[in-house]
Amino acid sequence: MLSLAFDAVSGTLYGIGDDSLLYEVNRYTAAATYIGPVAIQT
> What is the closest distance, in whole angstroms, from the C-beta atom of residue 40 to another protein in the complex?
4
What's the start-to-end Cα distance of the chain, in Å?
25
Cα gap 11→19, rounded to integer Å: 25
Of 20 and 26, which CB lies nearer to another protein in the complex structure? 20
Amino acid at 10: S
Task: Tell me the HSE value of 27 on the side-chain side, using a 13 A CA sphere.
Answer: 10
> What is the closest distance, in whole angstroms, from the C-beta atom of residue 22 to another protein in the complex?
4
> What is the closest distance, in whole angstroms, from the C-beta atom of residue 30 to another protein in the complex?
17
Q: Which residues bind another protein (CB under 8 A)?
A: 2-12, 14-16, 20-22, 24, 35-42
